[in-house]
Amino acid sequence: MEQNRSDVPEVSGRWDEIFARHTPRLTRLAYQVLGDWHRSEDVVQEAMLRCEEHKPDNPAAWLSTVTVRLAIDEARVLERSKENYVGEWLPDFVAWAAADTNVEEEFDVRDDVDSAITRLVQGLSPVDRAVIVLMDVMGFPSADVAHLLSGTPASVRQRASRARAKLRKLTDQQKPQGDVRAVRGKDVRDLAALLNEGKLEEFVSRLSEGAVLWTDFGGHGRAARRPIFGAERIRRFLIGIFSKYGLPQFSVRSGVGADFLVAESSDMERWVVIEQDWAGRIVGVQVQQNPEKRLVAEPSSCGKF
Single-letter amino acid code for the residue at 147: H
> Under 8 Å CB-to-CB from 93, ≥6 apart: which residues?
115, 255, 258, 260, 271, 273, 288, 293, 294, 295
Is the CA virtual torsion 57, 59, 60, 62 positive or negative?
Answer: positive
Residue 10 has, within 13 A of its CA and on its CB side, a CA count of: 5
> Under 8 Å CB-to-CB from 294, ≥6 apart: which residues?
92, 93, 95, 269, 271, 288
% the chain with pLDDT above 90 = 66
What is residue 102's predicted lDDT score, i.e. its pLDDT? 53
Q: What angle do CA 170, 269, 293 make, to 5 degrees?
A: 55
> Under 8 Å CB-to-CB from 45, ≥6 apart: which residues?
none
Q: How far is CA 295 from CA 37, 94, 267, 286, in A?
A: 8, 5, 19, 15
Which secondary structure element, helix H or strand E, spans residue 255, and what is its range? strand 249-255
What is residue 1's predicted lDDT score, i.e. its pLDDT? 39
Q: What angle do CA 239, 242, 248 make, to 5 degrees?
A: 135
- C-alpha to C-alpha distance for 111 and 151, rounded to whole angstroms: 27
Nearest to 43 by CA among 89, 76, 9: 76
Q: What is the DSSP string of 67-90?
A: HHHHHHHHHHHHHHHHTT-SS---
- C-alpha to C-alpha distance for 82 and 9, rounded to whole angstroms: 44
Per residue in 14-38, pLDDT (tens digit) is 778 888 888 988 999 999 999 999 9
pTM here?
0.87
What is residue 224's predicted lDDT score, i.e. its pLDDT? 84
Instruction: Specify burial of residue 105 (Cβ count, 10 A radius: 0-12, 13-18, 19+).
Output: exposed
- For residues 210 and 283, the answer to whether their CB atoms sit within 8 Å is yes
Q: Which residues of the chain have pLDDT under 50?
A: 1-11, 100-101, 103, 106-110, 303-305
Phi, psi of 93 (to 5 degrees): -100, 125
Domains and CATH numbers, the chain: 1-84 (1.10.1740), 181-295 (3.10.450.50)
What is residue 99's predicted lDDT score, i.e. its pLDDT? 56
CB atoms within 10 A of CB 208: 20
Length of the chain: 305
Q: How far is CA 135 from CA 40, 85, 122, 156, in A?
A: 19, 30, 16, 9
Phi, psi of 198 (to 5 degrees): 80, 20
